[in-house]
Amino acid sequence: MMRLFSPAKINLFLRIVSKRLDGYHNLSSVFQTITLGDTLTIALHDRDELTCTDPCLPTDASNLILKATELFRRKAGLQQGFKIHLIKRIPLQAGLGGGSSNAATTLWACNQLASTHVPLNTLKQWSSEIGSDIPFFFSQGTAYCTGRGESVHHIPALKAQPLWIIKPPYGLSTPEVYRRLNFLNSISEKDVQRDLDAFLSERLPYFNDLEKPAFEIKPELYQLKTSLLASGFEIALMSGSGSSFFCLGQGVLPKENDLTIYPAHFMNRPLFDWYFDGD
């Protein structure tokens, strides 16, 4: 049996570059894992079985965890089942990559438990078949991602600075946010290479091209961002397709009862191991 931490991610910048012929979008983004995360307990079993502490999360074949076990069996040529229990802390529909992280963690665990010794890069390649963000979690936790997000390029780890995750009581559908995106008018005019160069020079270009369509769907999100910046935070940026924000700097936390607030900081994966629990 293995008990593994499954971290959330934030997007330190996110640019939508173009729309693809397959209906997806090419992006340019720096992803960073954080100490907010789920816990997976995984053991060998005669069949796949998934349970979860959050009753709102489906535990059928639509869950990325079970998609990951099925993918692993097919690719590794195994019949082995897995019993998995998920302690869910990453909020749903928040833009924090919880499902993708769970899938990557599952693939890592299956490989260890089944003693199949599949190379990490191979697991990363396999994972792109079931989700665009999953390959990122096989990085060391700080990476520049392109394509649909599945092309992962290593960049140096960042200082473990503290942050706050602010989650409103509603989520956003990623497909709906992208459907609202008119990339000719909505995306930023920043140059991709210039953005990355500035990031690597510690002049971080914090922006997210998905904020505008998300704010069109939920105008309350724009109001929340405005209030977070007005309270003193240096950065208040939506992560991914929302609906959560991450905040950097010394601001005053909001007191609205319907907001959920999570303390966190940047984290990275040890070279030859999985992520360790940030606590």
As beta bridge partners, residue 5 has 39
The DSSP bridge pattern shows strands 25-45 and 151-154 to be: unpaired
Exposed/middle/buried for residue 276 (C-beta within 10 Å: 0-12, 13-18, 19+) = middle
Q: Per residue in 43-96, pLDDT tens?
A: 999 999 999 999 999 999 999 999 999 999 999 999 999 999 999 999 999 999
In the beta sheet, which residues pair with residue 10?
32
Return contacts of 183-187, CB within 8 angstroms, 24+ apart: 183/16, 183/18, 183/19, 183/25, 183/209, 186/16, 186/212, 186/213, 187/15, 187/16, 187/17
Helix (H, G, I), strand (E, B) or coil at 250: coil
Model pLDDT, residue 204:
72
**Could you tell me the pLDDT band of residue 141, with boundaries at 50, 70 and 90?**
very high
> What pLDDT, in 10s, does the model give residues 194-214?
888 888 887 777 899 999 999
What pLDDT is recorded for position 155? 92
Whole-number average pLDDT of the chain: 93
Domains of the chain: 2-154 (3.30.230.10), 162-265 (3.30.70.890)
Q: Using N-to-C axis directions, what is the helix angle for 64-76 and 98-113, rounded to 10°?
A: 40
Catalytic residues: 9, 133
For 241-266, write each residue's pLDDT tens digit: 999 999 999 999 999 889 999 999 99
Helix, strand, coil percentages for the chain (3-state, nearest 5): 25, 30, 45
Distance CA 53, CA 87 (A): 5
